[in-house]
Structure 1
């Protein structure tokens, strides 16, 4: 079996983030958690993924601090998977992927899902990247700099 390349010691935050998430199944599990899924069976029904793959991804997401396992909220013997603050921090990533997908992979008249604000029932504004002073920023306006090691 081919071993996956690990990036957990990379000096690149993107590489470490991709390493922590693992694969696209994991991002879809996180998406489903934002949609309110909490139990193994809910994730399995929503994704249609094999149980062994789902179990492995959930274990990795728990080990990585993205989810925590808690007793079922209804008092039953089941366990539930709840996003940690680290996991909730993936919300902008999921929104960005969703908005990118809505903008590039659907015909104008093709039905698709849309993320809306519960209060107004209106679609979210497009995410925008901005400088500390609020100016819009494009890729060509940025440069990667190395942060020195801190003791």
Structure 2
């Protein structure tokens, strides 16, 4: 994992943690219910040695957890073998990336005609296409507007604060501020 340019920048840390494109593909399959290496390998058409390395990376990064499954009957999801194997389960941190994936898919789909979209988010009950948005949990208001801005937090480094002094000086109106006090 490459170190972020500004050590306390959460955006840089997100990109560093996600890493390569395959991270989101593996997590997508985990969100869809895959738990066994055999299912990931089949779905993603990935050689098992490459897949093992990638799963280990996601486990080390705290996005998946590896659970040994050696007991007979541990085959409830149809792997077809009562032999020792591992299950890969999403952690809370891994599940927390799902809104990002959904937003990324919607971002790409907005540039495509409905008949050109390869994958769409729908309401499971109605099958109506959904349009994901990010909202403030407390107010329900969309945060992808100029009414919400990023500012240095209480633990911001001197470098982060200096960067946002410049950004704040360019902002107009009541949007200037500092959450760090």
TM-score normalised to structure 1 length: 0.79
- Quote the residue 1:69 is aligned against: 66
Return the alpha-carbon distance in structure 1 between the equivalents of residues 63 and 143 of structure 2.
29
- Quote the residue 2:43 is aligned against: 46
- Quote the residue 1:108 is aligned against: 114
- Quote the residue 1:127 is aligned against: 132
Is 1:142 equivalent to 2:148 in the alignment?
yes
Q: Which has the larger radius of gyration?
A: 2
RMSD: 2.6
Of 84, 92, 103 in structure 2, the residue corresponding to residue 85 of structure 1 is 92
Secondary structure, counterpart of 1:30 in structure 2:
helix
Once the 2 structures are TM-superposed, how far is the Cα of residue 139 of structure 1 from its aligned partner?
4.9
CA contact (8 A) 2:103 2:133 kept: no
Return the alpha-carbon distance in structure 1 between the equivalents of residues 53 and 6 of structure 2.
22
User: In the TM superposition, what whole-angstrom CA distance separates every residue of 1:16-44 from its partner, at most 9, and x where no partner exists?
Assistant: 11211221101110011111111112111
Give the number of the structure with larger relative contact order, counting CA–CA contacts within 8 Å between residues 6 or more apart.
2
Return the alpha-carbon distance in structure 1 between the equivalents of residues 142 and 120 of structure 2.
24
Of 21, 24, 29 in structure 2, the residue corresponding to residue 24 of structure 1 is 21
Return the alpha-carbon distance in structure 2 between the equivalents of residues 143 and 101 of structure 1.
23
Return the alpha-carbon distance in structure 1 between the equivalents of residues 102 and 95 of structure 2.
12
Question: Could you list the runs of 5+ residues in structure 2 that have no partner in the other structure?
Answer: 77-81, 157-181
Is 1:10 equivalent to 2:17 in the alignment?
no
Larger mean Cα displacement after TM superposition, 95-104 or 11-20: 95-104
CA contact (8 A) 1:8 1:20 kept: no
Question: Could you list the runs of 5+ residues in structure 1 that have no partner in the other structure?
Answer: none
Return the alpha-carbon distance in structure 1 between the equivalents of residues 122 and 105 of structure 2.
12
